[in-house]
Structure 1
Amino acid sequence: MIEVKKPESEKDWELYYDLRYRILREPLGKERGSERNEGDETGVHFALYENNTLIAVARLDRVDETVCQARFVAVESHLQGKGYGRKIMTALENEALALGYEKLILHARDYALPFYEKLGYTLVGPSYKLFDVLQHFEMFKVLA
């Protein structure tokens, strides 16, 4: 059974941040704690579980009245390419629509561009290099 929900318990949060760290920061040689930022207090968090096992995470941030941003999207390495990223992004997009947002932006890692293009995102261009190492690209999708 697959379900997407918001982390609730202390254990949920521990697993949520652990996955975020292992997929998004550890491969870059960054320390624990680098997977968190001030937006964690105000963002809407998503955790995708299959049979009660956490396998994907994402966060939705407000940019302004009509624009929101997807951040920290991560799927367990051995499960990438199996549709879980699509499922968590669909949940995030549906929540964005329910909250009244019209446009969703994100900054994708270079290797994730094809994934987001398949989901209907449009490439704007290079945005920034994470830790001066990993090129990111701004993308957007009109929701409404």
Structure 2
Amino acid sequence: ERQTALLSRRGLVEGSLSKSRIIVLGTRGEMTEFANLYAAEHLIISMRDPWEIAGSITAAGSVFIGNYSPESAGDYASGTNHTLPTGGWARSMSGVNIESYMRRITYQELTPAGLAALAPVITAMATAEGLDAHAAAVNIRI
């Protein structure tokens, strides 16, 4: 209440706070599980030994570690991205970053033994999809 009273956008903050909730969890494991399910746009880990938890976070737009890493640092000055996934999309998407604008190429090379080991799976899936030429491309090689 003291901090809200000092803000120029007090009405907006009060509206947000009226819809906010505090969730108390019993263990660090529960905290991590909830954080990964919620997949926050911004996640602040403000606790003793925050890196112990940070290594378990798999879904967040941007993670702020410790008491001296406010979200506003990431928004304006610390160099991390501010275009982040919202609405739980951090479970499957990253924020926009330099890699968003880079082309990536994958390479693969199979040995004769490797292709022979994969052949039953490849031909079964190709046949199930009605792609006989894909199955033939394997069968001809083995």
| TM-score, normalization by structure 2 | 0.28
Higher relative contact order, chain-length normalized (CA < 8 Å, sep 6+):
1
Judging by fraction of residues, say which structure has more strand: 1
Rg larger in 1 or in 2? 2
The two structures have a TM-score, normalised by structure 1, of 0.28
